[in-house]
Amino acid sequence: MSSMKHDDTSVPEYWRSLDELADSDDFRTFVENEFPASADQMLTPASRRNFLKLMGASMALAGMTACRWPSEEILPFSERPEGFVPGTPRHFATAMQISGVASGVVVSSYDGRPVKIEGNELHPDSLGSTGLLAQASLLELYDPDRSDHVCRKGTDGVETSEWAAFDAFADEHFAAQAANGGRELRVLAGADGSPTLQRMRRHFAERFPAAAWVEYEAISRDNIRQGGRLAFGRDLRPHWALDHASVIVSFDDDFLAQHPNAVRYARDFVAGRKTDDDHHDAFNRLYVVEGCHTMTGSVADRRIPVDTHSIAAYVGCVAAHLFLEAGLQLPAGVGSLRQTLEGFRSHALYASIDASLIVDLMAHRGASLLAVGPGQPAEIHALVGVLNMALGNIGKTLTFTAESDANRPHHVDAIAGLVEEMQSGQVDTLVILEGNPLYDAPADLNFASALEKVGTVIRAGRYVDETSAVADWHLPLAHYLETWGDARGYRGTYSVTQPLIDPLRNGRSAIEILATLVGEATGGYDAVKSTFAQQIGDEAWRGALHDGLVRDSELATTQPGQLADGWVSSLSSFATAAEAGYRVVFLTDARVRDGRFANNGWLQEVPDSVTKLTWDNAALVGVATAKAIGVKHGQMLRVEHGGHSLELPVYILPGQAPETIGVALGYGRRHGGQIATDAGFDAYPLRTREAMAWAAVQVQPMAGSFKLATTQNHWAIDPIGTDTTEERVPILVHEIDIKDLHGGHDDHGEGGGGHGSHEVNLWQPHEYEGYKWGMTIDLNDCTGCNVCIVACQSENNIPVVGRDEVIRGREMHWIRVDRYFQGDADAPSISFQPVTCHHCENAPCEQVCPVAATVHDAEGLNVMVYNRCIGTRYCANNCPYKVRRFNYFNNHLDQSPMETMIYNPQVSKRSRGVMEKCTFCTQRIAAAKITAGNEDRKIRDGEVVPACAQACPTRAITFGDLNDEGSRVLAKQKDPRAYAMLEELNVRPRLRYLSRVRNPGHSEAGHGAGEA
Amino acid sequence: MSNQKSPLIFPPWLDAIRPVVGAVAFGVVPVYLVLLVWFGASPKTTDVGYQPEQPVPYSHAVHAGELGIDCRYCHSTVEESAHASIPPTSTCMNCHSAIHTESEKLEPVRASYESGLPVHWIRVHDLPDYAYFNHSAHVRRGVGCVSCHGRIDTMEVVQQDQPLSMGWCLDCHRNPAPNLRPLDKITDMTWKAGSEEEQRQLQESLGVEASEDCSTCHR
């Protein structure tokens, strides 16, 4: 340690006046750290004196800077836009597109920055709700990892460039391409339903007639389209009316999570499951036949685990039962099917087909719906199309529209064709719009080596990811909230997407980039407006911007046409028993999808519906399978297919079929942001052209283990604890069979009525005469999708804590969805229960706070006053529902100004050492009270909608004033199915649950769906 | 003293001054530290009398006092929003495009109007970020501007007139009647409250029930 030196230039005056405390470099570093953790290193053993000097100095100095209250500036507009009121949000309608399908959203914007995304009530696919990806898309807008400049690969490596440089290059380069008709030009893009992009593509085809546009999606639904081609000879898109279906059968279709129209279908699905007297007799029944335990399977009334690779055979057996035994008429045009189906009689699964499935389908013709997942082969889709036709569903629960891009090649074939051309040197220029083929193209195509043979690779993407890292040009793509565009909903609803903010990262939209290539000097706004004028008409423009859609712009349904039977003979290949051996099924994760959202912290931290895994994927293996392979939960497993191997941890998931190992795609990224590269294991190397849905694998247990971050099962529990848990779960989560629900009443006594505790109160109960806020969560409607968690996180400025903290149980979500298994370990059922703060009238947390930081207000809300909290955590200790979250760290430190733009200004940001919890969105209640007060009236029912309730696709959460006679929440709390969780504790919660109702029926024939 | 090296570290004369050292260490030093933090570390910006210098020498005494311009002409969103809001430059230019068009004092205003960039006003009345105050709720219920902001119409430079502390807010919330006025007198700086009975009647007619719940302001 150097002796103390005087250094006149850098020591501030203040120091010199105290006893010659000089600044050595060590000292300066020391003072900069708030915690002098490195003090020991700087001190020699003999300088206790120096240590005291340093400690004294830092304490005095550090305190001063922290206490200063900065003077704030107010910067009003120079010219305030008309109608702009500072401090109040403005709402703009736009739409978010994922793989060609748009969902309508309404975005709240404060002072020109979007802070919250909600559903668009006018949009038929949204009805006011949102999906998980739409809620979380806001975080991507403010992601500092998004690329913000054009990159160019020069001779010295990658260098920063500018749009002007690219424009100049493109001018010249594409003029040269146009000269030979674009013969060596290819575009690889994802699915895009934007009418303006389609128009640009036509101009592109005019300028480059010999060029090819290749569409590829890693998560493809093309098998469905292919099935339609086989069966009807046309490219058709199926549409469901689930609210008219009494029997819904899903063969490996996780439609509640994965379907492009999942939000709408979830709403329709639960519409057929109402238990009030008006609807009681029409309760639908959902069968799910699947290999992996999915969200849809959790909601099923009857779940039948069958290995994913055997589901094709299962469908064949079901068809055989229906046509050959049950007497279902074969429709015209597929007479040869009868012969082929005979082959299924000898299949092992034939005898074990669920008899009630057959009975129900026959009993509810015209009111059923059979669905097949996009991973199953096209022939099975065709077969199910035939089944739906035979059962009379077409025109009733199932309708079709014609796909606009008929005869487009299958995604996998398209990219394989492109790679072949690239390998043979036919491609000079490849433009990649958004997709990430170096990460998610089928592994056996070896896209990377093919790419080396391409002269110029231009990639437009939001991140410098695996593909951009090797491209010659990387162009930053703008976020949908930053640009003009348009999109179509699943049913064809035309939406204009308008920007909420100027591009934050110097990006351009795909439309604008394509315009540059085509040589048109048009901006996004002009292009979109011009398309709109052509297709809809100028006079509807303002209305479309206001509504977020063009009303009644859904595509007309079409009759599917005549059945063809050329494909029938290939069905027999499914009738032979599959080879024994494990298959890895490539799951689409609801959060990262194909990997494009991997850098989104909210999505990484929201738990998976069924596994409750965060931050990683794992090999999902059934209980018996794990034993057979010889692996434990968390143990590393090596999986090999086609010369590639993957090592990843095992997650033992009850309900997995015996030979099915589920692995989610979209993890294990190598580039693309700090969060993306930290999460999970890349399953794409196992995925080959012939094995896009599942791959036959060799498995081998490895020695190591991996700590999986799950939000349930935080701490291992001993066998006694497990037994007690099993005993208690039915008390927490009430489920009832519909046959026991007579006239809406639950005779078993477990479900119902909310009798209220008979305990004596220690305090005089408070009379709530004003507003009396209450909430109900209908477990019958909850599908476990977890969108409420992300909506709450977005609304309330809840931080992301990261994997290590989740392992310690410190995730910050104010609402969580608990998941319980029940029944046989090989085929259990799953129940979901969202849990928020119950706002107990007799709150145990309020009684123990030493500083009265958590108090009760006159309307029944349990209020959390952050600035008073000193962090004793006694309240969390006392909470029986364990809904209180503690800020162990200052999670909002070190954020760039752009990252801080995402915060909702109506909610405080919490610092380290402060407890937080669900507030029933007190900021929304306050806003409604002020608005209502200013208008001299009371708050109407439905005016206050907490973030979770607003996002929920099935409207499972209801909130309102219990003192309002006509409020929906009061009606729900009076429902016979209503109960309070842990009622016996006498905490008098304001949150009630409504029992889940299942309709499994009986295995013997005689009871159809919906009968009590 | 002897020249031998003493085994003791402290010289004997320290014993004599020990009482003085004690008094300083336990008396003066703590008082000094407390005063140091109180005056040195507590912010000036939330004190009564805080009067920062503004980029433009705008005088409320002239505009609101002499000329009688209503508060809401400039602070136009006070009845709709949580913020009363500082007016945009265009509001100033409503008059000053014709009045005092060459004045040096108005140079920053003209520059702002021309460039489209804002004037950097310094905030006078500030609350902590975790306390959410809503102007419209107060102004629409009969709380006058002068109750919290003082006699702005006599201030050449705006200064903070009231403590704006939570205790001060609660004083009114616990007994709002003395601070209420008819809705047409909100911006009247000289209106005085009536008798206790009149105050009580006024409160009833305005329907004011000032909440003391924490959730009113703390979100």
pLDDT in tens, B153-211: 999 999 999 999 999 999 999 999 999 999 999 999 999 999 999 999 999 999 998 99
pLDDT of residue A275: 85
Question: A79 contacts in B (CB within 8 Å)?
Answer: 88-90, 113, 116
A contact residues 919-958, partner B, Cβ 8 Å cutoff: 919, 922-923, 925-926, 930, 933-934
Burial A218-237 (b: 16+ CB within 10 A, else e): bbbbbbbbbbbbbbbebbbb
pLDDT of residue B4: 64
pLDDT of residue A46: 45
* Residue A766 contacts B where some CB pair is shorter than 8 Å: no
- CA A76 to chain B, closest CA, distance in angstroms equals 5
* Residue B81 contacts A where some CB pair is shorter than 8 Å: yes
Q: Do A63 and B128 touch (CB under 8 A)?
A: no
Residue B91's closest chain A neighbor by CA?
A79
Q: Which residue has the higher pLDDT, A823 or B17?
A: B17
- Contacts A–B by Cβ distance under 8 A: 135
Q: Check whether A718 has a pLDDT greater than 90.
A: no
Residue in the structure block whose two tokens are 């990658």: A158
User: What are the backbone angles phi and psi of residue A499, rounded to the nearest 5°?
Assistant: -75, 150
- CA B85 to chain A, closest CA, distance in angstroms equals 7
Q: Check whether B140 has a pLDDT greater than 50.
A: yes
Show the DSSP H helices in A536-636 as ranges: 541-547, 572-575, 601-605, 623-629
| Average pLDDT score over residue span B4-12 | 76
Q: Do A78 and B89 touch (CB under 8 A)?
A: yes
A18, A71, A839, A857: best to mutate for the B interface, most B CBs within 10 A: A71
Q: In this predicted structure, which of A64-68, A112-116, A137-141, A197-201 has the lowest mean pLDDT?
A: A64-68
The secondary structure of residue B27, as a DSSP letter, is: I
Q: Check whether A195 has a pLDDT greater than 80.
A: yes
CA dihedral A690, A693, A698, A701 (to 10 degrees): 150
- Using only the alpha carbons of chain A, give its radius of gyration: 30
pLDDT tens per residue, range A632-643: 999 999 999 989
* Residue B55 contacts A where some CB pair is shorter than 8 Å: no
Q: Do B211 and A861 touch (CB under 8 A)?
A: no
pLDDT of residue B12: 84
The Cα–Cα gap between A786 and A348 comes to 38
- Using only the alpha carbons of chain B, give its radius of gyration: 27
Q: Please tell me which of the candidates A85, A865, A930 has its beta carbon nearest to residue B218.
A: A865
Q: Do A922 and B77 touch (CB under 8 A)?
A: no
Element (H, E) at A27: helix A25-32
pTM of the entire structure? 0.90
Q: Which of A219, A214, A296 is nearest to A253 (CA)?
A: A296
Question: B115 contacts in A (CB within 8 Å)?
Answer: 78
The Cα–Cα gap between A147 and A476 comes to 6
pLDDT of residue A246: 95
| Average pLDDT score over residue span A346-373 | 95
Confirm if A371 and A384 have CB atoms less than 8 A apart.
Answer: yes
Q: Check whether A803 has a pLDDT greater than 60.
A: yes
pLDDT of residue A756: 52
Confirm if A603 and A375 have CB atoms less than 8 A apart.
Answer: no
User: What is the 3-state composition of chain A as percent helix, strand, coil, each rounded to the nearest 5?
Assistant: 30, 20, 45
Confidence of residue A827 (pLDDT cuts 50, 70, 90): confident
Q: Please tell me which of the candidates A78, A86, A857 has its beta carbon nearest to residue B213.
A: A857
Amino acid at A680: G
Q: Do B80 and A88 touch (CB under 8 A)?
A: yes
* Residue A857 contacts B where some CB pair is shorter than 8 Å: yes
Q: Please tell me which of the candidates A86, A923, A930 has its beta carbon nearest to residue B83.
A: A86
Q: Do A933 and B89 touch (CB under 8 A)?
A: no
Angle between helices B107-115 and B89-96 (to 10 degrees): 120
pLDDT of residue A163: 95
Counting every residue written for chain A, the total comes to 1012
Q: Do A79 and B85 touch (CB under 8 A)?
A: no
Residue in the structure block whose two tokens are 């969202």: A834
| Average pLDDT score over residue span A649-655 | 94
Question: B116 contacts in A (CB within 8 Å)?
Answer: 78-79
Q: Check whether B104 has a pLDDT greater than 50.
A: yes
* Residue B167 contacts A where some CB pair is shorter than 8 Å: no
User: How many helices, marked H, and strands, marked E, lie in chain A?
Assistant: 32, 42
Q: Which residue has the higher pLDDT, B48 or A276?
A: B48
pLDDT of residue A741: 79
Q: Check whether A121 has a pLDDT greater than 90.
A: yes
Question: In Å, how far are A81, A87, A484 from A498, measured between CA atoms?
Answer: 18, 22, 5
Q: Which distant-in-sequence residues (6+ apart) come within 8 Å of A675 by Cβ?
A: A145, A598, A599, A600, A601, A604
